[in-house]
Structure 1
């Protein structure tokens, strides 16, 4: 069964563009992950995440963005954020993710072409909805990434990580 969600994408000469609509949350980030990983598996290392229609982001969503930036950075790639809006910019910068993500760069090749690019995007169709075990693991990994980005984040997410580790273990045990 395939699920259509509020993510659209396109691959262009220099990057893969992924547009997120609505709330960037733990519900939407598994689809963002699947879309990005499909393109990474094809050798793509430069991503633009379009947040123009994103009404806000939770920590799981931001943790996935940070993890993607870390992974593609090891391959010489980068993750750029297009049209974050003030609220989303503050959220990303508040967690220090501006050290991993290039937020609204003035000199990117796509600047001034955003509407043209958005007009060429295709809706992303999720292959399958993640089960509870996969969701718990994804949420945990996203928060581990956030905690690893700085000492402040490590302190900020310490208790959350304990709860998420227990939750992931509980769901893993149920399927064993």
Structure 2
């Protein structure tokens, strides 16, 4: 990794509800001691599984066309989620953090991390909670050109369809609701 490459921080909402998240690798703490309270990594399960949609979509975002092969490689090598997070940080200079870590609100620690690295930083806020908790505070510290707000990648989010061109498995186009004209005409 080039020394002058920007640190990218991808921020989500919280731990997986029924899956164990990967633990934070030591290299996160070497970069930013303010993160010492954070125990888990966002979007990366402890056991690598491409069927976890949010994980697969975030890896697709990071690795693009190589994502499917990368996930398969990690599985074949028996890598833990923590090892995967460490590799992503070492090779791509990307940290994956959650607003809620093991139920505890880590917004202030994340804001401090962003403030400490604001001159050489890109931030990706995934989901309403990450956007609501951080955007206003960090947009004064990080150039707005270096901040992206995007829907959360999980199926629980109604906006997961935005990931259809990122996720290597794609997302089927399902018409979930009628359009507004149908609704208006229904009452005519």
- Which of these two proteins has the greater Rg computed from alpha carbons? 2
The structure in which a higher percent of residues are strand is 1
The structure in which a higher percent of residues are helix is 1
What TM-score do you get using the length of structure 1 for normalisation? 0.31
What TM-score do you get using the length of structure 2 for normalisation? 0.29
